[in-house]
Structure 1
Amino acid sequence: MIEIGKYNDLRIVAKNSDGLSLSDGDREILLPYMHVPKDAELGDTLKVFVFVNKDGNTIATTQEAFAEVESFAFLTVVDANDDGAYLDLGIGKDVYVPTREQKRMMEIGESYAVFVYLDETNNRMLASSRLDKFIEEDDFDFDEGDEVSLLISEKTDLGFNAIINNRYIGLLYHNELFSNLKPGERRKGWIKKVRVEGKIDLTLQPTGYGHILDTKDVILKELKDNGGKISLGDKSTPDEIYERFQISKSAFKKAVGGLYKERRITVTDDEIKIVVDHFAD
């Protein structure tokens, strides 16, 4: 079955005056010559994006679409009027956002986090910035500490909202961020806490004992690479620690504390030194 608004693997079954006929075995659609790869031959299978054009015809393209249906994306407005806005989809076909589906009125040149879906009446792609309508709020398929994929959706007073695994929404708190974030960025993150009311707290730092072990190894290697000492210690700022190791001060202190208890390092307010007996470990 050919899926509209998604990538499909289709076989070239014929050539005609307008392009190639592609088939899934039951149905044929057109791939215009302007999007045909130079080395394409009859019988080849092509990965194409399928959509309905302004004339109501189902068309394929080898151009890369910025989003598929049933997914969240960060798209830029290329046109807008009182009825709605048009977002660049990257394939010469814009996706329409009716005014009623705009969380706030969209402006040309601005980018917004949206959910892309099919209009059930005509199979054309639509989008909505009212993300809460498309977020799942229970049956979480992860546990605290799990690694997840994030799409940063918007800045709030508390931090940044982020779409989790294209299904849920969570929050990254301002006071736990040690690098600049922007809506539209895709990041790797971790589940910090799932609250009783279903709210999800996120972090950009790995959590758990395994992460502390990894961090200890990183700090030891840095010490050895720098003659046995580094200019960070108990009084170092979170920014100084993040700049060197890309971890939070809390994770840094846990790892350093573990190394100190193992008597592998000594620590002062502004310096860590490796114990000579462990330099060759």
Structure 2
Amino acid sequence: MIKIGKRQKMKVNNIASIGAYMDAETDNPKDNILLPNNEIENIEVEPGDYLDVFIYRDSEDRLIATLRKTYAVVGALSKLEVVDITEIGAFLDWGLNKDILLPRGQEEGKLKLRNKYLVGLYEDKKGRLSATMQIYKFLLPCNDYKSNDLVSATVYRIQKDIGVFVAVDDRYFGLIPKSECYEEYEVGQELELRVIRVREDGKLDLSPRALLHQQMDKDAEKLIEKMKLYRNTFPLNDKSSPEKIEKMLGMSKKAFKRAMGSLLKNGLVTKTEDGFKVK
């Protein structure tokens, strides 16, 4: 059975003036698939040979075979570069002369030319290959990680009321819960995250923050650098609202107080009637 969008071994049925026809195994020569001359000009091909080919549809929607390696196949996730943005969607470079379409309805967020995005390939109702950024159904549960492991992930959807959805290792379910989102993210952004929980269904809850003792050093470093910019007019103190702290520093009020306590303990800042000041 022919698998569109995947590599497969196929037998050469016959050689014609325009190329080699691959056997579709339907007993109908009209179903055989052309491997064009420009694909085989540097190799010797004879009837009966088996070749590793990729099957897709050309600009006239005819099934065609190629020996070239594509950057993506049906059923797997890949990062593809946006080479054109049109009214019907974006076109992505997937290694063939004919770019693949990412239809407008399959996009997530606003795309940028030359950026790479994580997509899956699927066959539409007309049997044509298209790309989608709605990749939830392509992801898998994970049994490879445990709490506090560090992982690499790619943002594929942002829902402010829930959090930031990511693909861990570009293949596993992952979520940065709303409570762990202290900065703005973009679809396609690559992140280094820490596992805070492995759910029973194999989905991972993640945080951009390191373990407490490690994060406190980072937060304290970030805080003192910000204080140096403000000199003697640092606008935050113990009574500042959590919203103001998060907007200015990208950390929770609890993290702010821990970091400030660390700076006070180490004698790097002092507390005055007006608030905090760098020594």
TM over 0.5: yes
Root-mean-square deviation (Å): 4.6
Is the aligned partner of 1:273 residue 2:258? no
Counterpart contact for 2:133–2:156, Cα < 8 Å: no
Counterpart contact for 2:155–2:164, Cα < 8 Å: no
Q: TM-score, normalised by structure 1?
A: 0.55
The residue correspondences of 1:52-201 to structure 2 (distance < 5 A) are 52-54=56-58, 55=62, 56-58=64-66, 68-69=72-73, 70-71=76-77, 88-90=91-93, 92-94=98-100, 108=104, 111-112=107-108, 115-117=119-121, 127=131, 131-141=135-145, 143-144=147-148, 146-155=150-159, 157-181=161-185, 184-197=187-200, 198-201=202-205
Give the aligned partner of residue 203 of structure 1: 207
Identity across the alignment (%): 19
Q: TM-score, normalised by structure 2?
A: 0.55
- 1:90 Cα deviation from its structure 2 partner: 4.0
- 1:111 Cα deviation from its structure 2 partner: 0.9
Counterpart contact for 2:227–2:277, Cα < 8 Å: yes
- Structure 2 distance, partners of 1:257, 1:226, is 19
Counterpart contact for 2:151–2:168, Cα < 8 Å: no
Flag the 1:237–1:176 CA change in 2: closer, same or farther, 3 A: farther
Counterpart contact for 2:270–2:277, Cα < 8 Å: yes
SS at match of 1:211: helix
Flag the 1:222–1:115 CA change in 2: closer, same or farther, 3 A: closer
Counterpart contact for 1:233–1:271, Cα < 8 Å: yes
Counterpart contact for 2:166–2:175, Cα < 8 Å: yes
SS at match of 1:89: strand
- 1:166 Cα deviation from its structure 2 partner: 0.3
Count of residue correspondences: 214
- 1:127 Cα deviation from its structure 2 partner: 4.9
Partner AA of 1:94 in structure 2: I
Give the aligned partner of residue 13 of structure 1: none
Give the aligned partner of residue 44 of structure 1: none
- 1:237 Cα deviation from its structure 2 partner: 2.9
Q: Which of the two has higher C-alpha Rg?
A: 2
